[in-house]
Amino acid sequence: MNILDNFMNRAALAGLGVTVAAAPLGCFVVWRRMAYFGDATAHASILGVALALSFNISVFAGALAVALAMATTVSVLSGRGYTMDTLLGVMAHSALAFGLVAVSFLQGVRLDLMAYLFGDILAVGRTDLAVIWGGAILVVALVGWRWSALLTATLNPDLAYADGIDPRREQMVLTLALAVVVAVAIKVVGVLLIAAMLIVPPAAARPFARTPEAMALISTLIGAVSVLGGLQGALILDTPTGPTIVCVAAILFLLVSIGNSLRIMAGQGGGK
């Protein structure tokens, strides 16, 4: 029997594909304090889903186009009279609202809105897997290609200019990668949980990492454990799969935080 014939195997491969894309990108989201940026881009993708169904095109293409347009618009407008969080708040909630209203006008289209909001990883098919892993490979290649420049622009924009690196260009690279991740992850964990997969594994990996590369690798491992553990937990407990994956990631983050706090307290006690 082909490994892809089993829906649980397809779900696991889909979740791992999202993790491979989200983990290294999520590190930059954490370093740059762009958590709300990822959340806003994800919310906007619901409008892309509605437009895709209206024009009978790929949901992936619609979500990608709107997520990219949203992220690019915010990047261009930031610093021009509005703070970043204000722009994100206005555009994210507006796009989500317009998307939900647009969905209500769709005639003759059977749409499981909950699947797009919270994901439906167990319904992933072979075509979905190809899209997810194609997007993951694109994101990894893009971030890997620009890794050094992205790090420099993140840590010190002035040093980046001195090295001939344009921080705004690197911001656009992150914007493109983020839009791709949102588009491929919408089927797996849904719009409302994408930001969690971008942020929670890197945040959990941070105390263990001594280098940026190590943090990206550890984040990927934590994301993979979250996916596999969440799938198994959902199967045993009969709970929604996407939220269960995020719950496992949150539990890992909590355990890491407690362990790190105890380690710091022990170090302080030993130093007295």
**DSSP secondary structure code for residue 32 in this structure:** T
Closest CA to 203 of 71, 41, 35: 35
Tens of pLDDT, residue by residue over 96-141, are 888 888 877 776 666 667 777 788 888 888 988 998 999 999 999 9
Q: What architecture (CATH level 2) is domain 3-192?
A: Orthogonal Bundle (1.10)
pLDDT tens digits, one per residue of 7-33: 899 999 999 999 999 999 999 988 888
pTM of the entire predicted model = 0.87
Q: Are 188 and 198 in contact (CB under 8 A)?
A: no
Question: What mean pLDDT comes out for the span 54-58?
Answer: 82
| Counts of helices then strands in the chain (DSSP H, E) | 12, 0
